[in-house]
């Protein structure tokens, strides 16, 4: 890569981080939370896009790897007292109970743990292709969830974990309030998820444009041709799957921290579905599209919350229909698939809609 291009990327990364810091100070707590979720979904969307969009491995096991990351981070960051309080049905394994690491170490450990499981599951499962791979990964993701429910002395089983320490920007805010008298309340520290998503974007971008990334795309395009060009299919698939799992673990860990409480039901198939929605809407193998659609989906999830409540339609009031939001998302997904073009991006889908109706 040329020097000029490299400086451009580094400058835009720094600008992005400055923007995150400013947003953290200016926006209120609710908006900061949504923005935080946006960053997390960007990481998750990109990690699945690497596996599905770039390498063509139809994996439905994302929630499982997120669960591994989330539980690892939770167990490593919770204090001993909180653990003693949370594990009231069955005490925790003493070694893990006293284990406590800094946040950064915990998140990276979460990613590595998920990557390890990604490797262990990927090695046998990636011999399969297409639908068979999808079913096998879906199965493994459920197995992970069931194991989490049953390992009560480690994961606290179905009761879940509460009181995961959240990262707030309390100290910075206190400093600002003391010195400048602007009177804003502390909120979640956006920097962790923000920097993690910037790093993920950069990593995936660099990976995809390297020789390995091109080999991944070759596998997606035509396995038989890729193999006869000397690309070791199995090695490259496992690589892609493991890296994808790593970022899924990081995303899951950050999600656990941002929610503060996790339990096995959170990591059901519907969570994987949300991420597939992001990938399909943003476009398979499209980094920019994934970033935009991750933000859109996260914001729309919040903005459409009114649909779940009783609706006032002028002359009548409907009953509350929990889940109506998801109906809207299903319709959006259907539309995206119908209007999808070869590159499958949101932009071309919109162009196609325009083209279809402008002609007549």
Partner 1 sequence: MLKINNITMRFGGVVAVNAFTAEVKKDEIVGLIGPNGAGKTTVFNMVTGVYKPTEGNIVFSPSEENSHSLSTLSPDEIAKIGICRTFQNIRLFKHLSVMDNVFIGNHLRLKSGLLSSVFRLPNYTKEEKEMYDKSKYLLEKLDLYEEKDEKAFSLPYGKQRRLEIARALATEPKLLLLDEPAAGMNPQETQELMEFIRKIKEEFNLTIFLIEHHMEVVMGVCDRIYVLDHGAHIADGSPNEIQNNPKVIEAYLGVD
**Considering the complex, what minimum distance in angstroms separates the CB of residue 14 from partner 1?**
18
Q: Closer CB to partner 1, residue 208 or residue 256?
A: 208
Selection from 80, 133, 67 nearest residue 271 by Cα: 67
Measured at the CA of 59, the angle between CA 56 and CA 162, to 5 degrees, comes to 140
- 196 near partner 1, judged by CB under 8 A: no
Which of the stretches 12-20, 41-49, 217-225, 298-306 binds partner 1 when contact is defined by CB under 8 A? 217-225
The structure tokens listed for 49 are 């896009």
**Considering the complex, what minimum distance in angstroms separates the CB of residue 342 from partner 1?**
7
CA distance 111 to 209: 23
In contact, 97 and 82? CB cutoff 8 Å: no
DSSP code at position 53:
I
Query: Per DSSP, what are the bridge partners of residue 188?
Result: 168
Residue 221 burial (10 A CB sphere; 0-12, 13-18, 19+)? exposed
The H or E element containing residue 184 is none
Q: Closer CB to partner 1, residue 64 or residue 213?
A: 213
Give residue 56's region: left, alpha or beta (phi > 0; psi -120 to 50): left
- Contacts of residue 176, defined as CB under 8 A and 6 or more positions apart, other chains included, come to 25, 182, 184
Q: Closer CB to partner 1, residue 103 or residue 212?
A: 212
Query: Per DSSP, what are the bridge partners of residue 161?
Result: 262
- Contacts of residue 327, defined as CB under 8 A and 6 or more positions apart, other chains included, come to none
Which of the stretches 17-25, 152-160, 188-196, 213-221 binds partner 1 when contact is defined by CB under 8 A? 213-221
- 11 near partner 1, judged by CB under 8 A: no
Work out which of 4, 211, 314, 315 binds partner 1, going by CB under 8 A: 211
**Considering the complex, what minimum distance in angstroms separates the CB of residue 3 from partner 1?**
11
Work out which of 158, 225, 327, 335 binds partner 1, going by CB under 8 A: 225
CA distance 92 to 98: 10
How long a stretch of residues is the chain? Answer: 360
The structure tokens listed for 247 are 């970022």
Q: Closer CB to partner 1, residue 56 or residue 253?
A: 56
Q: Closer CB to partner 1, residue 24 or residue 200?
A: 200
Work out which of 40, 46, 70, 226 binds partner 1, going by CB under 8 A: 226
Report the SS3 class of residue 262: strand
User: Segment 327-356, which members bind partner 1 (CB under 8 A)?
Assistant: 342-343
Site string for partner 1, 234-273 (x = CB under 8 A): -----x----------------------------------
Work out which of 109, 215, 255, 279 binds partner 1, going by CB under 8 A: 215
What one-character-per-residue DSSP string does 243-258 give? HHHHHHHHHHHHHHHH
Work out which of 1, 182, 313, 316 binds partner 1, going by CB under 8 A: 1
Work out which of 218, 250, 255, 262 binds partner 1, going by CB under 8 A: 218
**Considering the complex, what minimum distance in angstroms separates the CB of residue 235 from partner 1?**
9
**Considering the complex, what minimum distance in angstroms separates the CB of residue 243 from partner 1?**
8
Report the SS3 class of residue 312: strand
- 207 near partner 1, judged by CB under 8 A: yes
Which of the stretches 77-85, 86-94, 125-133, 206-214 binds partner 1 when contact is defined by CB under 8 A? 206-214
Query: What is the phi/psi pair of residue 127, to 5°?
Result: -75, -20
In contact, 139 and 116? CB cutoff 8 Å: no
Work out which of 88, 180, 224, 360 binds partner 1, going by CB under 8 A: 224
Q: Closer CB to partner 1, residue 58 or residue 203?
A: 203
Which stretches of the chain bind partner 1, using CB under 8 A? 1, 203, 206-207, 210-212, 214-215, 217-218, 221-222, 224-233, 239, 342-343
């Amino acid at each position: 890569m040329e020097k000029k291009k490299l400086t451009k990327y580094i400058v835009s990364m720094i600008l992005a981080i400055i923007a995150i810091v400013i947003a953290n100070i200016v926006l209120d707590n609710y908006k900061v939370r949504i923005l935080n979720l946006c960053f997390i979904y960007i990481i998750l969307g990109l990690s699945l896009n690497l596996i599905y969009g770039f390498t063509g491995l139809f994996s439905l096991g994302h929630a499982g790897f997120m669960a591994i990351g989330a539980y690892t981070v939770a167990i490593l960051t919770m204090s001993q007292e909180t653990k003693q309080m949370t594990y009231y049905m069955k005490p925790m394994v003493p070694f893990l109970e006293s284990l406590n690491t800094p946040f950064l170490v915990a998140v990276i450990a979460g990613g590595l743990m998920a990557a390890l499981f990604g490797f262990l599951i990927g090695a046998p499962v990636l011999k399969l292709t297409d639908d068979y791979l999808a079913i096998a990964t879906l199965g493994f993701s459920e197995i992970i969830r069931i194991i989490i429910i049953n390992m009560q002395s480690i994961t606290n089983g179905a009761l879940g974990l509460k009181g995961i320490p959240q990262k707030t920007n309390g100290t910075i805010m206190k400093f600002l309030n003391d010195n400048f008298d602007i009177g804003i309340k502390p909120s979640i520290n956006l920097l962790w998820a923000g920097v993690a998503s910037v790093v993920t974007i950069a990593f995936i971008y660099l990976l995809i444009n390297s020789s390995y990334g091109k080999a991944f795309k070759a596998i997606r395009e035509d396995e038989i041709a890729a193999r006869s060009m000397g690309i070791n299919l199995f090695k490259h698939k496992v690589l892609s799957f493991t890296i994808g799992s790593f970022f899924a673990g990081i995303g899951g860990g950050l999600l656990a921290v941002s929610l503060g409480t996790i339990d096995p039901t959170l990591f059901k198939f519907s969570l994987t579905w949300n991420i597939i929605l992001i990938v399909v809407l943003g476009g398979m193998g499209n980094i920019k599209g994934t970033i935009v659609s991750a933000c859109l989906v996260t914001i729309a999830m919040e903005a459409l919350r009114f649909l779940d409540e009783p609706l006032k339609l002028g002359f009548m009031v409907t009953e509350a229909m929990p889940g109506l939001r998801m109906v809207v998302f299903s319709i959006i997904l259907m539309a995206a698939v119908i209007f999808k073009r070869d590159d499958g991006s949101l932009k071309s889908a919109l162009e196609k809609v325009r083209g279809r109706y402008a002609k007549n």
